[in-house]
Structure 1
Amino acid sequence: MVGHLGGRQIYTEGVTGTWISGDFEEEVEDIYSLGWPLTLLVEVTVTHGIDDEKLRRIIDINLPTLEIDLSRLGGRITQNDLRDLVVNQTIGKRWVHHPIFPIKARTLDAELDKHPVTLGYHERLIELRRPRWLAKPVAYWVQRYREAITAFHDANVLIRRTQRQHQGHSPKPRLLGTECDAWKQLTEAAEAMAAHGMPGAADPVMLDESGLVARLLSIQRNMGVGYDVRSGYQVLDAIMQSGNDNKRWDTLYAIAVKAYALEANFTASQARKYEDWRDTLISKVAANDQAYLRPSTYDAVLSVLFPEMAERIKKGYGRLAPTSEEHQSPSPIVVGTSHHY
């Protein structure tokens, strides 16, 4: 049974992705909103419920799916009673799947991660592992971190490509999650770096597929890391199209373009587009536009992960100066100059 919902809601929480068209040239959207599907699937079961195979197919379709189990009612049911049951009642009904389920699961996981019991257990594990982390130099953990984050995101790029090409009734491959070896190696390396005095490498803004590290690696290597694209410019194009929430990190990407000479690979039209974007960035920073000014939170760890950028990061262009109780400015303070990238 298929129903059509009358309303239309928009959801954006936790929804990020990259859409690429044609020959992968300059048409990359980075963050988008989706509407809830207007279609509702209704599975009416009598003697046989929804088995694992049918559940897998429902999840693959990813539409809101409601089961009405008539076996729980007993006896015969008239057409009018069935209509009343489907439209008005809740008895015998359950949600089998809804697109919001994974979003809610991530929200609950995040809340559990902040629970005092979880935090206490995590702190105890850190103390037990600290001697082993400190026994190896920070350079070892930096290399492990870069290798693990590349392996994790590259694997998911291939999985997404396979999902798009999937045919038949066999299960689609699932994306790697926090239980895979690459993720465990990644988070351990991040915690080891924190033990060496460089915190922040495990934060979502660093680790996400469109996070700082994946984007900077893409610029450094002139190829997509976490993005199913062929060149660093295509990732840069996604950056240039990002919304205001991500503009605070743009000076870091401009520094990376300079440090890794990415401009040498631009076509004439790409160079013009980048120059326009860079000019806007310079003017926004000069105007102390807070949306374009980054905190210093990740400067130290990024300088170790990307040593070619370290000197320019140290100059402080586009960075908010630290404030103190003795000096509170009503507007942001910018240090450094645009000549540093």
Structure 2
Amino acid sequence: MMPQTHSFETGANRPVVGRFAPSPTGRMHAGNIYAALTAWLVAKSQGGTIVLRIEDLDRDRSKAEYISAVQRDFELLGLTWDHGPFFQHNRDEAYSEAFQVLERLGLVYPCFCTRADLHAASAPHRGEKFIYPGTCRSLSAEQVAAKSLLKAPAQRLRVPDAMYSFEDMVQGHYAQNLADDCGDFLIRRSDQAFAYQLAVVVDDAAQGVTSVVRGVDLLCSTPQQLYLQELLGLGHPRYAHIPLLVAEENRRLSKRDHDAGLEELLARYKTPEAVIGHIAGICGLTPTCDPATPEQLLETFDIAKLSELFSDPVQIPWS
């Protein structure tokens, strides 16, 4: 029997609202700037607006000093926002309401697996993610009670044997069988913190986000989010998954690459306009690396050619 297919028209007939969604775990670097610049150009070229959301869901890693710093960095670079800033640390009530909807649908169950258990039970899929093998899916009430005495469970969402597909603005058609390519996924951790997949879906809907521009490493998360949106009766944003800036082949640029941090970039290129122009040039958003403001780049940006701007849709070497 062929799995059922769910194909989604994303971002249809709604005002364009994009988002910046930084995590306050360090200063901005070239990869953050490139993603934010592309999100800004995509939204503004369609007459849209931008939401600033500080994704401080991970309270252990989020630092108060970076919350103000990231806003100053955006302002310095000319990356303006129209709504916010919004935060995740005070959104537990909204996440809890969504969680309860999923519980009432009978789709949530406790999971006692450790990371080591998951790695032992399943091979990584698509080079990145482990597929949950359903170890705790059919535990009896007695088994759950016994295991709960030893360990607090996380909570997983049952997924169907169904294809979820959409058209990405950069990557084109993308489809995933949730059962085969993902498995039941976490929506709440064992420490009671809500998982990213649930939080981002709830926040995008509450903040009116209809345009999501982010790295291609999150492409495989999108079918899970479409599934959550469907279950919760929420709209589906339009997605654009852009190639990653990489420090070396297959290793994405991160905050540990200090030469790509904003302070170092300003020291090297002297002005915010030169930083923006250099990043836009090497990423293919503009044909040169000449200094430019986001507003100046907007004058020639053509969203219809977004998928053609990147010579490699997966990764771009940083230099």
TM range (shorter): under 0.3
Bigger fraction of residues in helix: 1
The alignment's TM-score, normalised by the length of structure 1, stands at 0.21
Larger-gyration structure (1/2): 1
Between 1 and 2, higher relative CO (CA 8 Å, sep ≥ 6) is seen in 2
The alignment's TM-score, normalised by the length of structure 2, stands at 0.22
